[in-house]
């Protein structure tokens, strides 16, 4: 276990590849006198075992799993590396808990050594574990996340950190080792395992605390992604529909979004709207006797009155749904029936009904749009709804955020306390 407080710096002597691993040698000078063969040392945040020491040079064997996740394979002669020995039980604990188990790589988007501001691009799998004010280790250095952007984290470095670490030598587009806060990783894992196995958030008081902390982080990330123009995936619990839907706000839906939903989702493209919007546009329930399994409130279908030929093209459907989200729209702007299926959200929101319709309204409003969205169920190649594990794989493949209705409820609960 480490603290992320760098003790010293060394330089790469050589990186040699053989059939099964890399052999890394570092010139550590007098710092090597503090080490013994068999001990651990964090090198740019990667915990490795000392294999051999000779005249100030320390040798390590780097296995394929470590090579795959870290930047070690890109090390070059004379490159500066950050060094830290494991914490001693009788020593002082500073920084934050760092395990030396790198989660993945980030890429430097920008760095300004004058202001000390560095921005790192992260894959969504790593970005999910980040929260403003939270801890993160970059090349083994314990740092605080100053700002969280859609795909970036922003770090503010003090001169002391720049002078004592190799962060001052970073260049744009250079890869760095990332280790996320262990508490955040644990919280996300517990929250995911709890949902995957029982289809609901953790039930104990400690579980609720963990779920709320993760929910604030995950929902915040999704809202920022939505504001940046990204499509996300909403999924509900195994005890309900157990399905995932694409989502974008109606105000900014594009023909490209509609085409993607139709091709990759294959479900019914619908437009959730609030009761106020439905009333202002004279959109009333399709039937007065709703006997659907989940009390889904379809209104009569619509097309845009102007700019429509048949109503089925991606552009025409997107145009109609943008009108549904436009606060200036009137009932006369639509014809009935049509190719767009508005869904009337429960006026009590997610507290009253935990459906994709209500989730869409929550996300749209929380992201700063009107109370209208666009959703579409996601089906697999056999035409069946994708379940949680399939949705996870799909979201990862297409670089999309995946958020649960349970996360939204926990978020609402947390911010109201």
* Cβ neighbours, 10 Å, residue 82: 25
> Closest Cα to residue 108, out of 138, 140, 128?
138
Catalytic residues: 241, 245, 270, 298, 303, 339, 356, 377
Query: What DSSP character marks residue 299?
Result: B
Q: Which residues contact 169 (CB under 8 A, 6 or more apart)?
A: 80
- Retrieve residue 129's tokens: 């574990």
Q: How many angstroms separate the CA atoms of 109 and 127, rounded?
A: 14
* The dihedral formed by the CA atoms of 201, 272, 364 and 370, expressed in degrees to the nearest 10: -150
DSSP 289: S
Contact by Cβ (8 Å): 79, 3 = no
- Do the beta carbons of residue 275 and residue 282 sit within 8 Å? no
Whether the CA torsion 46, 50, 52, 53 is positive or negative: it is: positive
**The 3-state secondary structure of 43-94, one letter per residue:** ECCEEEEEEEEECCEEEEEECHHHHHHCCHHHCCCCCEEEEECCCCCCCCCC
The DSSP element (H or E) to which 270 belongs, if any, is: strand 266-273
Cβ atoms 178, 71 nearer than 8 A: no
| CA 116/CA 10 separation, integer angstroms | 22
User: How many Å apart are CA 209 and CA 206, to the nearest integer?
Assistant: 5
Dihedral sign computed on CA atoms, order 409, 411, 414, 417: negative
| Tokens standing for residue 79 | 């490159």
């Amino acid at each position: 276990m480490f603290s992320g407080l760098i003790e010293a710096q060394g330089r790469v002597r050589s990186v040699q590849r053989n059939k099964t691993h890399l052999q890394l040698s570092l010139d550590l000078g007098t710092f090597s006198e503090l080490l013994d063969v068999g001990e651990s040392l964090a090198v740019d945040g990667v915990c490795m075992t000392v294999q051999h020491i000779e005249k100030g040079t320390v040798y390590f064997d780097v296995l394929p799993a470590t090579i795959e996740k870290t930047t070690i394979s890109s090390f070059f002669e004379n490159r500066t590396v950050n060094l830290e020995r494991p914490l001693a039980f009788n020593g002082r604990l500073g920084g934050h808990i760092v395990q030396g188990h790198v989660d993945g790589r980030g890429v430097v988007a920008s760095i300004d050594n004058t202001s000390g501001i560095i921005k790192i691009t992260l894959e969504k799998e790593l970005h999910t574990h980040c929260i403003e004010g939270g801890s993160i280790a970059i090349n083994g250095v314990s740092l605080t996340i100053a700002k969280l952007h859609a795909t970036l984290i922003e770090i503010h470095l003090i001169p002391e950190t720049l002078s004592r670490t190799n962060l001052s030598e970073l260049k744009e587009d250079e890869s760095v080792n990332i280790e996320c806060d262990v508490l955040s990783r644990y919280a996300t894992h517990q929250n995911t395992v709890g949902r995957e196995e029982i289809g609901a958030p953790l039930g104990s008081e400690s579980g609720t605390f963990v779920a709320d902390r993760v929910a604030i982080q995950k929902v915040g990330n999704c809202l920022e992604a939505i504001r940046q123009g990204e499509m996300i995936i909403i999924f509900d619990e195994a005890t309900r529909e157990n399905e995932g839907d694409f989502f974008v706000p109606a105000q900014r839906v594009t023909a490209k979004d509609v085409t993607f939903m139709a091709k990759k989702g294959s479900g019914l493209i619908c437009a959730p709207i609030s009761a106020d919007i439905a009333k202002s546009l004279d959109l009333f329930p399709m039937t007065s006797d709703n006997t659907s399994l989940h009390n889904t409130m379809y209104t009569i279908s619509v097309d845009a009155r102007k700019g429509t030929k048949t109503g089925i093209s991606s552009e025409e459907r997107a145009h109609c749904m943008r009108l549904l989200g436009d606060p200036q729209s009137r009932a006369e702007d639509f014809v009935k029936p049509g190719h767009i299926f508005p869904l009337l959200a429960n006026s009590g929101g997610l507290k009253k009904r935990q459906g994709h319709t209500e989730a869409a309204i929550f996300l749209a409003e929380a992201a700063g749009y009107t109370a209208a969205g666009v959703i579409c169920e996601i089906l697999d190649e056999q035409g069946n709804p994708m379940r949680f594990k399939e949705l996870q794989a799909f979201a990862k493949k297409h670089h999309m955020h995946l958020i649960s209705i349970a996360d939204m409820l926990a978020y609402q609960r947390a911010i109201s306390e």
